[in-house]
Amino acid sequence: MPMPADTDVSSPKHLRDKYAIVGVGETTYTRGSGMTTRALGTWAVRNAMLDAGLKAADVDGMLSYQSGDSTFAPFIAGDLGIRLNFYMDVFGGGSSTEALIGIAMGVIEAGMCKTVAIFRAMNGFSQVRIGGTGARSAVPVTSDMLHSRAYGWQSAGQMFSPTFMRHMYDYGTKPEQVAAVRAAHSNHASNNPKAFYQKRVTVEDVLASRVICKPLHLLDCCVETDNATAIIVARADRARDLKHTPALIRGVAGRVCKPRIDMHYQAGPISTVAGRYAREILWPNSGVGPEDVDVTGSYDAFTFTTMLQLEDYGFCKKGEGGHYVSDGTINLGGRRPNNTSGGHLCEGYTHGMNMVIENVRQLRHDVDDRCPIGSDGKRKHTYDHKEGGCRQVKGCEVTANLGWAMPGTGSAMVMRRG
Amino acid sequence: MPIQAQYLGMPLSLDDLEVENLTYFKHCAAHDFHLQACANCSLLRYPPTTACPWCTSREANWVPVEGQGTVHSYTEVHHPIQPAFKGHTPYLVLLVDLDRQLGKPTEHEALRVVGNLTTPDGKLAPPEMVKRVGIGTRVRMVFTDVAPGLALPQWIIDETAKQPENPWRYPQE
């Protein structure tokens, strides 16, 4: 597709295509990693460096995000012999990935460093349970939490559900439409040897699974796993000397919020999420629109979060998200597949970064499925998306990642094949 | 005075710097719901905050507000996360549009006050009562007494109000 050649440096959009993701890496996705988040983070960052073809001396910036559940960047850098010119460890979970990519571009642009590794390392099952059970569920309730946790309104699923319910009320969205997200992502995961859940499930399986908190069944909720993921951001002109086709960053929007973010339900409509604001930054900055996107990575902490974001970023009309996610569009082989790795529902949970990694590989035309590797070392993709088969999207040129922290906060990024 | 209390076996606390929250819950403990009204623009706000989200004024007055409204949305929890709520499922978390200041200052704003569905004595509602409530149900505020200076505002079905024939509930029971 044609890309606008907008390189006017008087425009705030002049960073389009100037930066790229040049390396990606991850650990295994398991329950019971048997190692610290320091060991996991080191493993993932090293894999991203090997993927890019970068040595320790080539990396001089580091960013991470966490919620008191991980290891800070200086330990990972120290373990790998990386001398840092810049680092920062940011508080946050979902929606951090795209926001931190924007920060990485900014600090390189400011001349503070040249190459930034971004990682997320977590034992989301065996240490700090992401679903909120275990030790996290029994902490004393203090201060402003008295207005939520004292009412048994604490976990992500509990906190987001009034948004999900109101969407069903406002627009007639049906449980079976939303459940189609899990079915699609499980089909994708069946073609991903790394995925924690590789078994395909049906809409009926989702609706028959037990209710956690309405409208969420067990299979509407993502998986909790132990893992680390990492990506490396550098200038695109450097990327051309590295191992892979770069994933050029067209535009980012970071932690864009609805009004009254202290308690976003005070401002409605509550069935609208932060993407409605983020899209006004994302698309103009990127110089593309939803119609130009080949693959999406819409955050699937829950089936509903994928749907709400696709809708509010404009991939369909407001209120038609239920139809969009259940008519085959988001499936491999459909017009615009979503979360081709299986995402958080099936591959593993790393607060958004694994969906960025997947889209980088899609843009390289080199996802790690079960297709045979040829004598040139490259995978020979069949584009047959049957169970256990290929998950490469043919001719993937433009991707969009839609990160989610909660209904009121989101981040997003558009990349294109370099 | 700081507050340390137990509710359903769950520790709740407010230290003595929590001026806004201590005042809010002190009124609740007197079973007299109050919210902050901006001293500059007069708009009410919920939950307690340190400035007016519409005009930034840091000055506010606590004013009595009638605890009645309509369920705007909800969740019905079947799998409790917190130990305190095990044995109380299913329970409802309600997001209630107060009648006061509904649709102000803009069309989609309201004082949306969180609470559980309870019985009139402030105990979590039994399952048959949970099934009667959905989006559109008219509710009235009651209080769950926790400790001196601390009661939680809660919601009961308003039996005196005109109720919708079928409040909207999630289709799968």
pLDDT tens, per residue, chain A with 418 residues:
455 555 455 556 779 999 999 999 999 999 999 999 999 999 999 999 999 999 999 999 999 999 999 999 999 999 999 999 999 999 999 999 999 999 999 999 999 999 999 999 999 999 999 888 888 888 899 999 999 999 999 999 999 999 999 999 999 999 999 999 999 999 999 999 999 999 999 999 999 999 999 999 999 999 999 999 999 999 999 988 899 999 999 999 999 999 999 999 999 999 999 999 999 999 999 999 999 999 999 999 999 999 999 999 999 999 999 999 999 999 999 999 999 999 999 999 999 999 999 999 999 999 999 999 999 888 999 999 999 999 999 999 999 999 999 999 999 999 999 9
Shortest distance between the Cα of A157 and any Cα of chain B, in A, equals: 9
Residue B109: both structure tokens together: 């704003």
Residue A259: both structure tokens together: 């009004």
Question: Which residues of chain B neighbour A152 with C-beta distances below 8 Å?
Answer: 77, 80-82, 84-85, 88, 91, 93, 116
The DSSP annotation for A341-366 comes to T-HHHHT--STTHHHHHHHHHHHHT-
Angle of the A156-171 helix axis to the A303-312 helix axis, nearest 10: 50
Token pair 């070392």 is at which residue?
A377
Q: What's the angle, vertex CA A345, arms to CA A340 and CA A349, rounded to 5?
A: 95
Task: Name, in order, each residue with C-beta under 8 angstroms of A406's C-beta and a sequence gap of 6 or more.
Answer: A94, A156, A159, A160, A264
Per-residue pLDDT, B93: 98
Cα distance between residue B143 and residue B113, in whole Å: 13
Decide: A117 and A85 in contact? Cβ < 8 Å. no
Q: Among the CATH numbers 3.40.47.10, 3.40.50.720, 3.40.50.1220, 1.10.540.10, which is that of A19-128+225-239? A: 3.40.47.10
Which of these, A210, A187, A208, lies nearest to A197 by C-alpha position? A187
The model's pLDDT over A385-398, given as tens digits with 9 standing for 90+, comes to 999 999 999 999 99
Residue A45: both structure tokens together: 């960052």
Decide: A96 and A67 in contact? Cβ < 8 Å. no
Question: Between A158, A174, A259, which is nearest B77 by CB?
Answer: A158
Per-residue pLDDT, A5: 55
Decide: B57 and B39 in contact? Cβ < 8 Å. yes
DSSP-derived letter for residue A179 is H
φ, ψ of residue B171 in degrees (nearest 5): -65, -20
Q: Does B16 touch chain A (CB under 8 A)?
A: no
Cα distance between residue A64 and residue A92, in whole Å: 9
Which of these, B33, B31, B32, B68, lies nearest to B162 by C-alpha position? B68
Cα distance between residue A37 and residue A297, in whole Å: 25
Which of these, A273, A303, A130, lies nearest to A201 by C-alpha position? A303
Are B81 and A140 a contacting pair at CB < 8 A? no
Per-residue pLDDT, A7: 47
Token pair 């299986």 is at which residue?
A342
Q: Which residues of chain B have pLDDT under 50?
A: none
φ, ψ of residue A31 in degrees (nearest 5): -120, 110
Cα distance between residue B132 and residue A402, in whole Å: 37
Q: Which residue ranges make up each domain of chain A?
A: 19-128+225-239, 247-417
φ, ψ of residue A126 in degrees (nearest 5): -90, -10
Per-residue pLDDT, A170: 98
CA A10 centroid distance within chain: 31
Q: Does B114 touch chain A (CB under 8 A)?
A: yes
Decide: A392 and A86 in contact? Cβ < 8 Å. no
Using CA atoms, how far residue A253 sits from A98, A268, A404, in Å, is: 7, 21, 12
Shortest distance between the Cα of A214 and any Cα of chain B, in A, equals: 5
B 43-62 near A (Cβ less than 8 A): 45-47, 49, 53
Q: Write the CATH number of the domain with boundaries A247-417.
A: 3.40.47.10
Q: Which residues of A are catalytic?
A: 299, 349
Within 13 A of A2's CA, how many CA atoms are on the CB side?
Answer: 3
Per-residue pLDDT, A1: 47
Using CA atoms, how far residue B9 sits from A138, A139, B123, in Å, is: 10, 12, 14
Domains of chain B and CATH, by start:
11-157 (2.40.50.840)
Residue type, A328: G
E-strand ranges in chain B read 3-7, 10-14, 34-38, 44-45, 60-64, 68-77, 91-98, 112-116, 138-147, 150-157
Question: Between A146, A174, A210, which is nearest B12 by CB?
Answer: A146
Burial A64-101 (b: 16+ CB within 10 A, else e): bbbeebbbbbebbbebbebebebbbeeebbbbbbbbbb
Query: Which three-class secondary structure state does DSSP give residue A60?
Result: coil
Per-residue pLDDT, A10: 54
| pTM attached to this predicted model | 0.96
Per-residue pLDDT, A132: 85
Decide: B142 and B130 in contact? Cβ < 8 Å. no
Residue type, B173: E
Per-residue pLDDT, B12: 97
Residue type, A33: S
Q: Does B77 touch chain A (CB under 8 A)?
A: yes
Q: Does B91 touch chain A (CB under 8 A)?
A: yes
Mean pLDDT score of chain A: 95
Decide: B74 and B168 in contact? Cβ < 8 Å. no
Q: Does B108 touch chain A (CB under 8 A)?
A: yes
Residue type, A312: D
Beta strands B68-77 and B60-64 are: unpaired
Per-residue pLDDT, A14: 77
Decide: B138 and B163 in contact? Cβ < 8 Å. yes
